[in-house]
Structure 1
Amino acid sequence: MTDPAGHHALDADDPLAPYRDRFVGADQPLVYFDGNSLGRPLAVTGPRLARFVEAEWGGRLIRGWDEGWLELPQVIGDDLGRVVLGAAPGQTVVGDSTTVLLYKLMRAAVAARPGRTEIVIDRDNFPTDRYVAAGIADECGLTLRWIDVDLDAGVTAAQLEAAVGPDTALVVLSHVAYRSAWLADLPALTAIAHDAGALVLWDLCHSAGSVPVALDAAGVDLAVGCTYKYLNGGPGAPAFAYVASRHLGELTQPIQGWMGAVDTFLMGPTYAPAPGIRRFLSGTPPIVGMLAMQDMLALVEEAGIDAVRTKSVALTSYAVDVADELLAPIGVTLASPRDPALRGGHVTLNHPLMREVTAALWQRDVIPDYRDPHGLRIGLSPLSTSFAEVRRGLELVRETLEQMTA
C-alpha cells in the first residue's frame, strides 16, 4: 500500500521539482495527464513569440530569411540531435508534419533497396505509420509483413527475427508504443534488421524528450518524431527527421521542393538536391512553429536527459503503485509493462468503462486520454508533473469509476 501522503516526500526529494514552476498553468489545481500528447507551454515562450512578431517578423520582414530563418531547420535539428537524440550534427532537420516525414523517409528507404519486396511493421504501431506504410506498399507494389504483438507490450527481438528476411526492404518500429508504453530494445532490433540487409525507421514520437535515445551509437538508419509532446513545441509544431550521415548520399528525396534544392534561389529549370540533410526539406520552413521547442530544448539540456528519464521512471512507477492500491480492487488492470526498464513515459489502465470515465474526468479538470480497448492513458511529462498531481488524479479516477458502478 502506498502512503496517501507519500507524494509530499517524493516531491520534496525531487531535484527536478523546481522546473514545474516554469510551465504555464502548472500552479493550477487541474490535473494534466496528457503531456505525452500535448505538452504544456513554458512561461518564457509567450514573450519569445511576441518578441519574434515585433522585432523579427515585424521589424526585419523578409530580411529575416537571410538573417537566420533559412538555417533554422538545421540549427534546431542539430540541437535536437545533441540534447535528446544522441545524433551528431548534420543528420537531423525540422520541417513538415510527422506524416509527411514518415512518407519521405519510408519512400526513400524502399527505393534504396531495389529488388526487396516487403515492409515489416507491427499491427499495433501508430495508425499514421501503418497507413503511410500501406500507401507506399500500394504505390510501389510491395507487401506488408505484419507482426502481431501483445497490445499490453510491443515488438520483441524474437518476433522481429521471425519476420525479416532477404525480401525485407524496410522495418518500421516505434521506440515507445503509443498504447502500452512498451519501450523497444532499439539497438537490438536495429541490429536484427541490419542482419537481414534491411533499413530500419524508428518512430520517436512517444520517446523524444522523455527517454534518452542514442541513434548514432545504435547505428539507426532513419527516424522521425513529433515535437508537440515531450518537446512542448505547441499544437501542430513541425516534426523532425533523422537520416544517418552514411545514407545522405544514397537516399533520394521523394518530395522535391525548392527549399531542398542545392541553390534555393536559383530557381532553375531542373531540381538538384542540396548536399546533406537539407535535401530532405521541401517547402518553406514553418518558422513560427519552430520557436517554442527551442525553449524546451534549452530546459531539457539544463536538466539533463538522463535526469529527465529518472524522473519519468519515478512518476510512472508511482502511478503503477497508486493504481495497484486504489484501482485494482475495483477491477482496473495495468495495460503497460510493469518493469520500468520496459516502459516509456506513460501508463495505460484498462476497465470496460474507461471511455466514459475519461469523458467525466475532463469535466472535473482531470485530463487523461482514452485509447481502445478500454484504456485510460496517463501521460506524465517529467518536468511539468508532480507526484501530488499523480496521486490526486488517480484518486479522482477511482471516485469517478465508483460513482459509475454504484
Structure 2
Amino acid sequence: MTDQRDTDRSGYFLYHSIGQYPDKAADMARSLTAFADCWGAANDDQWGYALGQRQRFIDLWSQLLKAPSASLTTTENVTSALAALIMALPREDLEGRVVLVAGDCFPSLHFLLTGLAERYGFRLRTVPLREGAHWVEDEDVIAAWGPEVGLALLTWVSSTSSHRCDLATLMAHGRKQGSVIGVDITQAAGLIEYDCMAVAADFSISTSLKWMCGSPGGGILQVMPDVIARCQPSLRGWFSQDNIFSWDINTFAYAPDIRRFDNGTPSVMACAASVPALEWHAAQDWSAQLEKNRAFCSQIIAASDAAGFELASPRDAAHRGGSVMMRLPDDVDPQALLADLRTRKVYADARGALLRCSPGFVTTQAGVDRLADALGSLRRASA
C-alpha cells in the first residue's frame, strides 16, 4: 500500500531542508538506474558517462548562476567548499587579519571557521544578534567590517529567520575595505535569482538541496577568475591539473581555471542524482514560482499573526527569502505540534521553539489552508 504522505504533497513546507518537485522520485530513479546500468556494464564506457553527468551538473549550475566560464566546480557541501577556498588563499589574505561572519550564519560554517582560525592565523569576528532580535542587521555587519577584515562570509538568506541581507550595500562596503568576499547562497538559490556577475562576490557556495531539489552531496564552489588565479589549493590531486593524465610524479602544475580546486577522483553520484532536478529548474517560469511563494508566505504570516505567534522573519518580502519562521509560545510543545501537523498531512520542522515553514513548488493552497487551520486550532486550545 502506498503511504499517503508520498502522494499528497500539497502540505509540504520543508524547502529550507529538502526540496521537492513533481515526479522527483521517478526522475531520480531513472537517472540512478541509468548510472547503475552503465557502471555495471562489462565495457569501457563508465568514465565517459560518469564525468559527463558531472559536467552536465556543473553546466546547469553555471547557467542558473550566470557564472563565468570554468569558474564553478563540485564539492560535497558548503562546509567543504568554504574549507577548500580558505586553504587555497594566499597566506597574506588571512594571516594576522580578521574573518568576519554574522551570528546567524549556518552553524556548520562557524564550526569550521572556529577550528581553522588558529591554524591559519586569523581572528574570527562574529557579529552578534541584537537582544531579542531574530537576525543580524546589515548595519551591524558594516560597523564590524573594517580594513582589517581579510575575508567576509555573507549569508544571503538566514536558515533561522529567512532574513535576506542587502548584498549590494554589503558588497559595496566590503570592496572599500579590500576584503575577499564570499556568499553562502544555500537558502535562496533556485528560488530567487542570483547573478554571479552582478553580485561580483569573490566566491559563492551552495548545496543542491533545498530549493534546488537535488541530492545530498551535490555542493558547489564558484570562484571568480581573478581570485582563482591567486589560489593554490592545499588539497590537490590528479584532477587539479590541466592535463589530468599527466603521470610524472615530479611535475605538477595547477589547472588555469576552477579545476585547480578539484583533487582526486571526483564523486559523481550526487551529480547524477541531481541533474534531473537541475534540468527541471532550467525549464521553469521563475517569476511565477516566486510569485506563488510570496502569496503563500503572506498567508502564513497572516495565520501566524491571527494565532498570536511572534513572527521571526521579515514582513517585507524584499528582505525575506522563501520561508516564514515563527516563535512558538512557551506552553506549546514543538514536537507535539509537528505530530499534529503530520496528521493533517502538513510537513514543517522546528528548531527549538522556532517553527519553520517554506512553501514551494509542490505546495498548494489546500496545504496552506490546512497549516493555517492547525495554527488557529493550536492557539485556541492554548487559550
TM-score (norm 1): 0.84
Structure 1 residues 2-401: aligned runs within 5 Å: 27-28=7-8, 31-40=11-20, 42=24, 43-54=26-37, 56-59=38-41, 63-65=45-47, 67-70=48-51, 72-83=53-64, 85-109=65-89, 111=91, 113=93, 116-150=96-130, 151-156=133-138, 158-234=139-215, 236-270=216-250, 271-325=252-306, 327-328=307-308, 332-351=309-328, 352=330, 353=332, 355-361=334-340, 363-364=342-343, 365-372=345-352, 374-381=353-360, 383-400=361-378
Equivalent residue letter for 2:334:
R
User: Could you tell me how far apart the structure 2 residues matched to 1:95 and 1:314 are?
Assistant: 34
CA contact (8 A) 2:240 2:261 kept: yes
Asked whether the 8 Å contact 1:81–1:92 carries over to 2, the reply is: yes
1:19-51 CA-to-partner distances (Å, cap 9, x unmatched) read xxxxx9674167222122012261322222222
Distance 1:306 1:188 in 2: 24
CA–CA distance in structure 2, aligned partners of residues 118 and 226 of structure 1: 26
User: Is 1:200–1:220's contact at 8 Å kept on the other side of the alignment?
Assistant: yes
Q: Distance in 2 between the 1:37 and 1:141 partners?
A: 34
| Distance (whole Å) between structure 1 residues aligned to residue 218 and residue 55 of structure 2 | 13
What is the Cα-based RMSD across aligned positions, in Å?
Answer: 2.4
CA contact 2:341–2:371 (8 Å) conserved in 1:
no
SS at the partner of 1:108?
Answer: coil
Secondary structure at the residue paired with 1:227? coil
> Deviations 1:50-69 (Å, cap 9, x if unpaired)?
22222x2233765321x243
Instruction: Output the CA distance in 2 between the equivalents of 1:122 and 1:218.
Output: 19
| Contact 2:104 2:135 survives alignment (8 Å) | no
1:401 shift after superposition: 5.3
Deviations 1:316-369 (A, max 9, x none): 1222123223x22xxx11100000110001110111225234442365243211
Give the superposition deviation at 1:371: 1.7
Contact 2:12 2:362 in 1 (8 A): no
Question: Where does residue 13 of structure 1 map in the other structure?
Answer: none
Deviation track 1:153-212 (CA, whole Å, cap 9, x = no partner) reads 3341x2222112221110011110010000111222122111100011111110111111
1 CA distance for matches of 2:265 and 2:380?
Answer: 52
Residues 347 and 377 in structure 1, CA contact (< 8 A), matched pair in contact too: yes
SS of the residue corresponding to residue 19 of structure 2 reads: coil
Letter in 1 for 2:30: P
Q: Hey, what's the Cα distance between the residues in 2 that align with 1:26 and 1:111?
A: 51
Unaligned runs of 5+ in 2: none
The one-letter code of the counterpart of 1:178 is S
Task: Write the letter of the residue equivalent to 1:52.
Answer: F
What is the distance in 1 between the residues matched to 2:5 and 2:263?
36
The answer to whether the Cα contact below 8 Å between 1:259 and 1:282 also exists between their aligned partners in 2 is yes
Amino acid at match of 1:97: N
The answer to whether the Cα contact below 8 Å between 2:81 and 2:219 also exists between their aligned partners in 1 is: yes
Q: Distance in 2 between matches of 1:122 and 1:159?
A: 9
* Deviations, residues 353-398 of structure 1 (Å, cap 9, x unaligned): 25234442365243211124x21000222x2211221121232243
> What SS does the aligned partner of 1:170 have?
strand
Contact persistence 1:322–1:391 (CA under 8 A): no
Distance across 2 between alignment mates of 1:73 and 1:47: 16
Structure 1 letter corresponding to 2:148: D
Look up the SS of the partner of 1:32 in the other structure: coil
Q: Could you say if the C-alpha distance between residues 112 and 283 of structure 1 is closer, same or farther in structure 2, counting changes exceeding 3 Å?
A: farther
Q: Secondary structure at the match of 2:126?
A: strand
Quick check: 1:116–1:166 contact (8 Å CA) kept in 2? no
After superposition, the Cα gap between the structure-2 partners of 1:117 and 1:62, relative to the gap in structure 1 and judged at 3 Å, is farther
Identical pairs, percent: 24
The question of whether the paired residues in 1 share the 8 Å contact of 2:346 and 2:370 is answered with no
Sort the Cα spacing of 1:394 and 1:258 in 2 relative to 1 into closer, same or farther, 3 A.
Answer: farther
Amino acid at match of 1:186: L
What's the secondary structure of 1:206's corresponding residue?
coil
